[in-house]
A and B are shown apart, each in its own frame.
Chain A
């Protein structure tokens, strides 16, 4: 795969900036969105491979955005993130088709290794050697 493109959706400016900075310095193509509407708009233009979405964003929340993505862009792998580590949230994320759930604050190294595994899977699927399973689940990092 060419360089993997990651969409970061978080309404907190400095969280978004930090994530974009950390990912681009690790070689990822990145772009950010501050809320669900902006994300929906940008994902059609920018065509990300992976979406990293905060659960509590204004307007459209993380779960709703995930549903939109599943519907309109099922090829995008979605990772949800939140300060909330409630297991019911995590199970819901899994059921609704997220690939992973990261509990804030997580370490950038953990995020990068998760992204690397997901992009390898996406890559294999793109080459026709594997299937990009909609129920692909990497689980959650315990903060």
Chain B
């Protein structure tokens, strides 16, 4: 059925009038909004949405019509099933967009993993080159710079992947205290190198939260890495997990120099960084992830007194209730 047929022509208006004369008020009231038009004998029904928008949205489209006729032959009304063509097209468009997005996302993910291979071989050869040079050779410095830049490239790739991933809202029940303990173990070698002691404390009976474990891992790694980077002189990092009013609260406190007053408003903005080799995406991604799962992430910091990050996530129990 072409759209032209459904245009608001004089014929259409006449049909509506004819309809109004033919059927009883009670039947008409079923569908007085939108108005209905029935072409006699053929059970052909057009329904147009009330929006009087001639060049805008497409009309509603009938699907099935059937006349309701008395034994005497008197037509009482009609049964009409219709659907909103606009909505159907929206759904179709959304599905195809989602399919495209997923395809692009998967492609991007494999591309990003593949980018790591050349970065890795270049990095490895540079390391070999560096080791073959004399200690006082200035070129050693160049190789170090190249390696640091490659690491930044690799981190950028990871960050972009995580941004793409943070669109997904799949998840599972995660017990933050045990999960976090595992993550902290990964940092042990770095704690040793930097002379940092990590103090971990968790309440008993912490309820699980609903989140994607891989994304949560990224949040903790980002914050822990920031804490580590802030503590070049060594010191203590305090990590605690507690529950409060259907929320699980994780606090990570370092003894670094703290966040400058003028930087506080920018901490969660993309590409904001105070690190030489930072991408400025870590906390932006972390906030995005935590917000996606109904939580909040905040910080308290004073110059010279360290920084505390507070992550609050609703328990799964809280979500289902």
Contacts and interface: CB of A to CB of B under 8 A. Distances in A.
- The secondary-structure label for the interface of chain B is helix
B84 interface: no
Contacts of A21: 124-125, 128
Nearest to B120: A105
B186 A105 contact: no
Interface in B88-111: none
B158 interface: yes
A108 interface: yes
Given A18-B128, A56-B113, A83-B114, A104 B158 contact: no
Contacts of B213: 87-88
A142 B208 CA distance: 25
A105 B115 CA distance: 10
Interface string A1-37: 0000000000010110111011001000000000000
A105 B150 contact: yes
Contact of B124 (A19, A56, A86, A140): A19
Nearest to A102: B120
A14 B126 CA distance: 13
Given A14-B121, A143-B154, A86 B127 contact: no
Interface string B117-151: 11111011101100100000000000000000011
B158 A18 contact: no
A83 B117 contact: yes
B131 to A, nearest CB: 8
B194 interface: no
Contacts of A18: 120-121, 124-125, 128
B87 interface: no
A83 B112 contact: yes
B185 A25 contact: no
Given A22-B128, A105-B151, A86 B214 contact: yes
Contact of B127 (A87, A108, A139, A142): A108
Given A15-B121, A18-B120, A83-B117, 4 more contacts: A105-B116, A107-B123, A141-B186, A142-B221
Interface of B: 112-121, 123-125, 127-128, 131, 150-151, 154, 158, 185-187, 213-214, 217, 221
Interface of A: 12, 14-15, 17-19, 21-22, 25, 56, 82-88, 104-108, 139-143
30 contacts: A12-B117, A12-B121, A14-B118, A14-B121, A17-B121, A18-B128, A19-B124, A21-B124, A22-B124, A22-B127, A22-B128, A82-B113, A83-B112, A83-B115, A83-B116, A83-B117, A87-B213, A104-B117, A104-B120, A105-B123, A105-B150, A105-B151, A105-B154, A107-B127, A108-B124, A108-B127, A139-B185, A140-B186, A141-B186, A142-B187
